[in-house]
Amino acid sequence: MSNREVVVLSVGGVRFVTRASTLLQFPESRLARMLNDDDQEFKLMNGEFFVDRDGTLFSYIMDFLRTLQVSLPPDFSDYQRLQREAEFYGLYPLANLLSQEHLLKPRLEILEVRFSLQEMQAFFRIFGSCSATVEALAEQITVFTGQQLGQSWNSPFPSQKPLVPLPLEQPSHHDLVFQCGTDYSAGDQFVARYVSIKPDNRKLINGANVLGLLLDTLLKDGFRLISTRTVSSEEKVECYSFERMKKPAGLTV
């Protein structure tokens, strides 16, 4: 039987078709012994192996055999039942991975955007519980600076002079700071800062426009806005709080 290329199993009434080599990934398992007619739990009926176990959970076991990873849906909760099934089939590497349930469960990721408007400038500070997300945002956000002659911060047209990109300020791995708008320099000169957020190609100087684009970018990235509050009415600091469920990377044997 081990020479058969394609094997059909009926597990609890659910039909699975796979390669014999997939079932032989772990030679000591009951699935491998099944192909050699060495396990009476599996009955061969009309060319299909039948076993009276949970067919839904067996789909996760098949995924593990094909990828050698444990990758479960975000709402999965039957860790102990799936571990028992893995032990029944003699797949102890899978059972050991499932015992690390805390590593397999999705984690709640929190992100906070603080926005402050002061005269012709807008200030942004982003705090994130996941440093990788903050780093990704730092790569998406670019601040450009240049001098303008007698223009206000509401001008929709950037300076004709070449704009120079500025590095973002990152006080820690979990937050970053940037600003936009214009600041009086000397005479009738203004220092202007524009913000660009990938994949949008615009360079925005108006703080409200930058805030709208930033919030829209986070929503498209899977975050959910959970609260909006005013931190300081005197300094006009607004705080936008987001959350999303972050799926863990699949554990590999």
> What pTM does this model have?
0.64
Q: What angle do the packed helices 79-88 and 55-67 form, to 10 degrees?
A: 70
Cross-strand partners of 9: 16, 49
Confidence of residue 50 (pLDDT cuts 50, 70, 90): very high
* pLDDT tens digits, 58-93: 999 999 999 999 988 878 889 999 999 999 999 999
* pLDDT tens digits, 107-128: 889 999 999 988 889 999 999 9
Question: Could you write out the three-class secondary structure of 108-166?
Answer: EEEEEEEEEEECCEEEEEEEECCHHHHHHHHHHEEEEEEEEECCCCCCCCCCCCCCEEE
Residue 10 CB burial class (10 angstroms; 0-12, 13-18, ≥19): middle
CA 187 to chain centre: 48
Backbone angles phi, psi at 32, to 5 degrees: -70, -40
At which residue do the structure tokens 């060319």 appear?
47
Q: Set out the domains of the chain in order of their start, with CATH numbers.
A: 6-104 (3.30.710.10), 109-150+159-245 (no CATH)
Q: Which residue has the higher pLDDT, 201 or 3?
A: 201
Helices and strands: H and E segment counts in the chain: 8, 15
- Between CA 25 and CA 22 the distance in angstroms is 6
One-letter identity of residue 99:
S
**Closest alpha carbon to 163 in 192, 137, 122:** 192
Binning the chain into helix, strand and coil, the percentages to the nearest 5 are 25, 40, 35
- Between CA 118 and CA 38 the distance in angstroms is 77
pLDDT at 162: 80
pLDDT at 153: 47
CA 109 to chain centre: 9
Q: With 90 as the cut, is the pLDDT of residue 146 above it?
A: no
